[in-house]
């Protein structure tokens, strides 16, 4: 077996969590990531017949039965993942009945997957129905996105349009727009279900006054989506109290969409 600490699916998550902490998005134990890894990749590093322990789960994830994930641990700090991945990450496989997960590696200090695992699984299920190549759900607390939810309308069309107008690349990166949920209690199935419902149409869901859920085919794609939204939100927060002399118009956004071959969400542009 190869050394799992050198496995790309471990090293990539380690680097990403460190970067997210450095950017100030994941204070203390904030944020969580779940990443689907193909069985043939994992089998190069782990004996898939060796289950360390089974962790029960009060959620039916049978749609994901047999799928293997790298998941950040509950209560873990992103700043510590790179130095000690075996304690802060786990490689888990969804049980056949969908009512638990099998620990194949990690959580060496007796830990468990993020408490928001059901919310992650709900979003994985809906994104996989839309995009079979989907692989990652990333939850984080970008400062300016959160700030924007205090001072901007939470209407999805208005929120998206403002972000598109902040930076030329935004429409190209997320032409499908950004979904927004009002404040809800975190860590329970209700917000998980509401997020998953939005994931049927969006790759990004903002949790007002809390953070964002981003998804994608790869770590880079999900991170890049969140990073772009956060940059646009930062620009908005910096200029919102100033007189605006010019901005990106709808006609210019249509020109941009045509040039890059993207289709803006229907009804969002005049």
Q: What is residue 1's predicted lDDT score, i.e. its pLDDT?
A: 85
Q: What percent of the chain shows pLDDT beyond 70?
A: 100
Cα–Cα separations (whole angstroms), residue 129 to 37, 92, 112, 196, 200? 17, 21, 27, 11, 8
Q: What percent of the chain shows pLDDT beyond 90?
A: 96
Among all residues, which ones are annotated catalytic? 116
Q: What is residue 250's predicted lDDT score, i.e. its pLDDT?
A: 96
Q: State the SS3 of 23-47.
A: CCCCCCCCCEEEEEECHHHHCCCCC
Mean pLDDT score, 92-96: 97
Q: What is residue 187's predicted lDDT score, i.e. its pLDDT?
A: 75
Per-residue pLDDT band at 208 (split at 50, 70, 90)? very high
Q: What is residue 58's predicted lDDT score, i.e. its pLDDT?
A: 87
Give 197-207 pLDDT, tens digit per residue.
999 999 999 99
Mean pLDDT score, 155-181: 97
Of 93-107, 174-188, 224-238, minimum mean pLDDT range: 174-188
Tokens of 206: 């903002």
What pTM was estimated for this model as a whole?
0.94
Is the confidence at residue 189, as pLDDT, over 90? no
Query: HSE on the CB side for 106, CA within 13 Å?
Result: 28
Is the confidence at residue 188, as pLDDT, over 90? no
Q: Which letter, b or e, does each residue of 164-173 get, where b requires 16 or more Cβ atoms within 10 Å of its Cβ?
A: bbbbeebbbb
Is the confidence at residue 102, as pLDDT, over 90? yes
Q: What is residue 20's predicted lDDT score, i.e. its pLDDT?
A: 97
Give 45-63 pLDDT, tens digit per residue.
999 999 999 999 988 999 9
Rounded distance between C-alpha atoms, residue 53 and residue 61, angstroms: 18
Q: What is residue 192's predicted lDDT score, i.e. its pLDDT?
A: 92
Domains identified in the chain and CATH numbers: 1-115 (3.40.225.10), 116-264 (3.40.225.10)
Mean pLDDT score, 131-135: 97
Q: What is residue 186's predicted lDDT score, i.e. its pLDDT?
A: 83
Is the confidence at residue 213, as pLDDT, over 80? yes
């Amino acid at each position: 077996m190869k050394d799992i600490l050198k496995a790309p699916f471990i090293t990539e998550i380690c680097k990403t969590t460190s970067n997210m902490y450095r950017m100030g998005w994941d204070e203390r134990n904030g944020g969580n990531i779940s990443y689907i890894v193909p069985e043939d990749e994992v089998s190069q590093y782990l004996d898939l017949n060796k289950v360390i322990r089974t962790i029960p789960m009060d959620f039916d994830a049978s749609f994901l039965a047999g799928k293997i994930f790298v998941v950040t641990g509950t209560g873990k700090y992103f700043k510590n993942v790179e130095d000690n991945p075996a304690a802060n990450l786990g490689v888990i496989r969804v049980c056949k009945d969908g009512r638990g997960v099998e620990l194949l590696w990690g959580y060496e200090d007796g830990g468990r997957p993020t408490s928001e695992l059901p919310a992650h699984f709900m979003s994985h299920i809906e994104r996989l129905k839309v995009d079979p190549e989907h692989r990652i759900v990333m939850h984080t607390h970008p400062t300016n996105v959160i700030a924007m939810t205090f001072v901007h309308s939470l209407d999805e069309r208005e929120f998206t349009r403002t972000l598109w107008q902040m930076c030329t690349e935004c429409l190209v990166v997320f032409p499908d727009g950004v979904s927004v949920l009002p404040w809800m209690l975190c860590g329970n199935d209700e917000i998980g279900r509401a997020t998953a419902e939005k994931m049927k149409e969006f790759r990004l869901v903002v949790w007002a006054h809390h953070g964002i859920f981003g998804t994608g085919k790869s770590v880079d794609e999900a991170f890049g989506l969140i990073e772009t939204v956060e940059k646009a939100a930062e620009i908005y927060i910096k200029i919102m109290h100033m007189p605006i002399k010019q901005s990106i118009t709808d006609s210019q956004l249509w020109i941009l969409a045509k040039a890059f071959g993207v289709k803006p969400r229907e009804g969002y542009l005049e």
